[in-house]
Amino acid sequence: MTATSDLHVVETRPLLPPSLLHAELPIDEKASKTVSDTRKCIQEILLGHDPRLLVIVGPCSVHDVVAAKDYASQLTSLREKFSQHLEVVMRVYFEKPRTTVGWKGLINDPHLDGSYDINTGLRRARTLLLDLARANMPAATELLDPVVPQYIADLISWTAIGARTTESQTHREMASGLSMPIGYKNGTDGTATIAINAMQASSRPHHFLGINHEGNAAIVSTTGNPYGHLVLRGGKQGSNYHLEAIREVSNELQRATLGKRVMVDCSHGNSNKDFRRQSDVLREVANQVLEGSTNVMGVMLESHLVEGNQKLTNDLSKLNYGQSITDACIDITTTAQLLEELALAVSKTKK
């Protein structure tokens, strides 16, 4: 008989069930409180009940857990310093969508060598998230693979659905069942329509195929997630962080009965992929806040210990400590300066 299946499959390996990983690395009361309290704060900011701004800041992607914890310890002091005006959440991205090919992130390839030891990647990711939450550093991430939330979502305070996946029905269904606030990025063309459609779809109940806590195939039924919001990241048509662009999209959101508040991603299309220009974007947003605009509820920054980025090579010993291997980032010193400027702008609006 002629074979008709698995013609392009080389290997299948067992994936540990979520229940086993949770048993090995259980969430405790301290970590649970960090996650739960931060989610509530973000919801209040989104609704306009909390006058602070949400700041999602951290590496483009985590490839070195030690460096990530080092960065987190420095960000924790900034989180505490500016807590009166900013809700700072660390960007902890484990999955990287690729335009063609490339390193897909810590979960997919934790050893950075193409061995794709995903079970180890999941363990490293959950261990890091636990360590951060226990140290009162909440985490934000982008959820790309719809199976991954079963392993780490209980430790995530904010999630992004990326520009490439906002239109995906699979990700809209997944988002409808997630427990944290979700930012939907505008499409790569820069328009907001796809993200607005995603927000509407994900706020409704859904029924779809997934896995349960034991790792078995399951039919998942959800209530819908009411805490979706738009993340403006620019696009092929240019930036969309300026006052008029934000005002226009806020009006569009209100017409769709989705509130009016947006987050501005200071990187990607808004910085024209020049990490240094994130500072310009943030300062423009801070100025809008200073002048009384209430349409912005937060910002996102790509930041690491060392500015710029580096190529992933076969000789891992040559990698610079604390420098991104994906998109270029600003350094922690610049980050501190920008957070201070943003906090100052928020403080002046309260007077």
Binned at pLDDT 50, 70 and 90, residue 96 comes out as: confident
Asked if pLDDT for residue 288 goes beyond 80, the answer is yes
Bridge-based pairing state of the strands 139-142 and 158-161: parallel
Give the whole-angstrom CA distance, residue 63 versus residue 112.
8
Asked if pLDDT for residue 232 goes beyond 90, the answer is yes
Q: Residue 350 has what pLDDT?
A: 65
Asked if pLDDT for residue 303 goes beyond 80, the answer is yes
Q: Residue 236 has what pLDDT?
A: 85
Q: Residue 87 has what pLDDT?
A: 98
- Mean pLDDT, range 339-347, rounded to an integer: 97
Reduced to 3 states (helix: H, G, I; strand: E, B; else coil), residue 34 is helix
Q: Extract the tokens encoding 106.
A: 């810590």
Higher pLDDT, 237 or 56: 56
Give the whole-angstrom CA distance, residue 311 versus residue 71.
20
Q: What's the mean pLDDT when you consider all of the chain?
A: 96
Please write the tens of the pLDDT for every residue from 17-48. Answer: 999 999 999 999 999 999 999 999 999 999 99
Asked if pLDDT for residue 280 goes beyond 60, the answer is yes
Q: What sign does the CA torsion over 117, 123, 129, 135 have? A: negative
Binned at pLDDT 50, 70 and 90, residue 102 comes out as: confident
Q: Residue 214 has what pLDDT?
A: 97
Give the whole-angstrom CA distance, residue 281 versus residue 299.
10
The CA–CA distances, whole Å, from 230 to 166, 199, 259, 263 equal: 11, 8, 10, 6
The residues, any chain, with a CB within 8 Å of residue 110's CB and separated by 6 or more, are 117, 120, 121, 124
Please write the tens of the pLDDT for every residue from 144-194. Answer: 999 999 999 999 999 999 998 999 999 999 999 999 999 999 998 889 999
Q: Residue 113 has what pLDDT?
A: 94
Q: Extract the tokens encoding 98.
A: 């690729």
The residues, any chain, with a CB within 8 Å of residue 86's CB and separated by 6 or more, are 52, 53, 54, 55, 79, 339, 342, 343, 346
Q: Residue 240 has what pLDDT?
A: 95
Q: What sign does the CA torsion over 241, 84, 131, 17 have? A: negative
Q: Residue 351 has what pLDDT?
A: 56
Q: Extract the tokens encoding 251.
A: 């009006």
**Could you give the percent of the chain with pLDDT greater than 70?**
99
> Model-level pTM?
0.96
Domains of the chain: 19-349 (3.20.20.70)
CA-closest candidate to residue 265, choices 299, 304, 240, 242: 299
Q: Residue 349 has what pLDDT?
A: 86
The CA–CA distances, whole Å, from 98 to 85, 95, 105, 123, 237 equal: 35, 10, 10, 23, 20
